Amino acid sequence: MNKYLDIAPEVLSAIQENRPVVALESTIISHGMPYPQNVETALRVEQTIRDGGAVPATIAIIGGRLKAGLSHDEIEYLGRKGREVAKASRRDLPVLVARGADGATTVTTTMIIAAMAGIKVFATGGIGGVHRGAETTMDISADLEELARTPVMVICAGAKSILDLGLTLEYLETHGVPVIGYGTEELPAFYTRRSGFKVDYRIDTPEDLAAAFRAQQEMGLGGGMLVTNPIPEEYSMDPVRINAAIDQAIAEATARGIRGKETTPFLLARVKDITGGDSLASNIQLVLNNARLAASVAFHLAVGSNALNINK
């Protein structure tokens, strides 16, 4: 075991007994929502995983320790500190650990720590990607590189629609990352179910998702797999309204010179304000939806299944 890693007893027991475990990120707690809604949502997502028959493992860095599985008190601690907690990507881990500091894990660092612990399935809201205007700014999320190198299945509601979705798919294709649509041939766009861009494959059952990921790992191909799970229809937002809010938020970020790791939190917060909080409500529901699917996939990955039906 990595000497910097602490695995919660419940999570460690489940891993050793080959029971289903689902990793969860912690930036949604510290940077994604206001307190106390962030803590309430984190605990609700954990309960959704439990209701699906799996063990939740919320991941973070606390006091310089890499944590796979948090207590309620630790989740409360991150929620109260909020943006005082560093948003930790791969490049931040060495310094945060050496300093004994706290860090909220992004998709990237959640994948890294999950893989260290032996957790194969991770549920999140949406991944980062290629930002609009990246042809001049080179602003590309580290999430995409991590998907190419770390053997974890990431279940999300697509790439955040603040991004350039077409270039994000091109980048993932170049790096050999399979992009799977769960029950859809079209890439979901986080707040909305459709984007106009096609995924690589459509897979319709958790069993077949587990079988595809198992085959990828057993062939030694390396890297992860991205599963895009559309937001439930009843919580999907009007595309015209959400895109107008995103365009306004991007214009404000550009005018204020906001860039780098501060870009996504700023844009999501502004979109929430512009939509009167509707985007936050949708965000919560899509995370819960992804958690339910992840619990089912983790179960089938643990028990094993050889059946595979894929539509390309």
CA distance 37 to 79: 9
Task: Give the single-character DSSP code of 236.
Answer: P
Q: Residues near 15 by Cβ (< 8 Å), separated by ≥ 6?
A: 7, 21, 117, 118, 119
160 catalytic, yes or no?
yes
- Structure-token match 């984190």, residue found: 42
198 catalytic, yes or no?
no
Whether 113 and 145 have beta carbons less than 8 Å apart is answered as: no
> Catalytic pick from 87, 120, 160, 272?
160
CA distance 254 to 45: 33
> Catalytic pick from 25, 74, 76, 146?
25
Is the sign of the CA dihedral 299, 67, 80, 30 positive or negative? negative
CA distance 23 to 122: 4
Q: Residues near 48 by Cβ (< 8 Å), separated by ≥ 6?
A: 288, 291, 292, 295
Catalytic residues, by residue number, are: 25, 160
